[in-house]
Copies of this chain bind each other. A is one copy, B any other.
Amino acid sequence: MSHTAELIAVGTELLLGNIANTDAQMLSQGLSALGINVYYHTVVGDNPQRLRAAVELAKSRADILITTGGLGPTCDDLTKNVLAECFGKKLVFHAPSARRIEAYFERLHAGRPMTENNYQQAMLPEGCTVLDNDWGTAPGVAFEADGVRVIMLPGPPRECRAMFTHRVIPYLKSLADGVIVSRTLKLFGIGESSMEAQLREEMEAMTNPTLAPYAKEGECELRITAKAADEESARALIAPVEERLRARFGPLIYGADVPSLEAAVFQLLKEKGLTLGCAESCTGGLIAKRMTDLSGVSAVFRGGVVSYATEVKHTVLGVEQALLDEFGAVSEPVARAMAEGARRVLGCDLAVASTGVAGPDPDERGNPVGLVYLALAAPDGTWVRKIQQGLGRERVRHVSASHGFDLARRYLSGLEVK
């Protein structure tokens, strides 16, 4: 049997635009992975009448209703009160929850007395399943009434995500018919429109598995999604599609179900037992930052030099002054010398370098915004890639760093570096 869920987020801060409704995104991803359809998201403010209207409507068209927010003392536990009323439930005092809230409060605000408001959080709909909240004070709630499964979760994204993962998914899994499995191929070096054009007919003809393209921050993804009775059958549906895509896009695919290019580079460095360093001008620390976002990377990442001022390229990285004078900081020879300098100075096996014009203005030699040279220095040679992008500063920097990782990825995978 197929289920339909509807999401209602409660919070005036959402209607004022102070925050985006990322809870809805997180829940939608999770529900979709469970094979549960979501047809509507609604956002209402801290207002009982409008929440009631949204709940009555949702009740009439979904069999799973998930609310986020409105459980805290600052909004008078709005969501619990309204939902209990809409489904004809009384709120009753739940002693174990009160004790959990006390304990949480004690851990966080040692010495500060708990207020009456906090005890209100332990008033829960009679007969409900309490979803213990180990990440905040407001307990979550689940109950079934009038043919609808109602789930109330706290609004703060960190709490909402943890509660969904650890409390709601196990509960919902028992309802889902079959499983939905996705596998995402990640590509670098191809535009979304070109990828889509090559795949359009194939995608349109597919029903199970389906194939969906996404573009983000200069990369492309191809998500293959299969629905089947169990995971193994779903994976068997995915495999031949993945094979076809790999045959078509080959070296442009840098991984499957990997979080990022830098994570792919990290994995390859570990496999080969090699170390990496970097020398950054226009990316200004972003390459190092993205590497060190990955935990455990100290095993392979030595460090970097952010040579933002031209002088630092000479004094710290040892780029010859003559090169800087003749070609300027944004040039192929300087990119090369920066990468080679970083290898020497940092004592690493491979070094990636960037030099370019992030914008918003051209450099003093008239190099245009978006012109960037990336270099990779390795024991057996140095390679330079020149790119020219017509994007904003942040995008230029991000995509440039990705090109740097792509050079390393190609080298480490034994592909042609270019």
List residues of chain A with CB under 8 Å of any chain B CB: 14-22, 24-32, 38-45, 47, 50, 54, 57, 109, 193, 214, 278, 280, 283-289, 291-293, 295, 297-298, 301-309, 311-312, 315-316, 345-347, 358-360, 393-394, 397
Contact = CB atoms under 8 A, between A and B. Distances in A.
A292 B284 contact: yes
Contact of A316 (B57, B298, B345): B345
A306 B308 contact: no
Contacts of A45: 39
25 contacts: A14-B25, A15-B32, A17-B25, A17-B26, A17-B32, A20-B22, A39-B45, A39-B47, A40-B42, A40-B50, A57-B57, A284-B291, A285-B286, A288-B308, A289-B289, A292-B308, A295-B393, A301-B309, A302-B308, A302-B311, A302-B312, A303-B312, A305-B316, A309-B347, A315-B345
Given A40-B43, A287-B285, A394 B293 contact: yes
A26 B18 CA distance: 9
Q: Which 3 A/B pairs are nearest by Cβ-Cβ distance?
A: A284-B292, A285-B288, A17-B28
A346 B41 contact: no
A347 B39 CA distance: 59
A20 B15 contact: no
A405 B308 CA distance: 18
Contacts of A42: 40-43
A22 B27 CA distance: 16
Contact of A308 (B25, B32, B303): B303
Contact of A32 (B16, B54, B280, B309): B16
B25 A315 contact: no
Given A306-B304, A312-B346, A43 B44 contact: no
A347 B297 CA distance: 29
Given A44-B40, A291-B284, A309-B298, A25 B30 contact: no
Nearest to A316: B345
B304 A285 contact: yes
Contacts of A315: 345, 347
Nearest to A158: B392
A131 B17 CA distance: 23
Nearest to A26: B17
A106 B237 CA distance: 40
Contacts of A278: 306
B306 A303 contact: yes
B28 A14 contact: yes
Given A298-B308, A311-B347, 12 more contacts: A14-B24, A15-B38, A17-B28, A39-B47, A40-B50, A42-B42, A284-B289, A286-B292, A292-B397, A302-B308, A302-B312, A305-B305
A38 B18 CA distance: 13
A15 B39 contact: yes
Contacts of A292: 283-286, 306, 308, 358, 397
Interface centre among A24, A47, A285 (most CB of B within 10 A): A285
B306 A288 contact: yes
Contact of A305 (B38, B41, B303, B393): B303
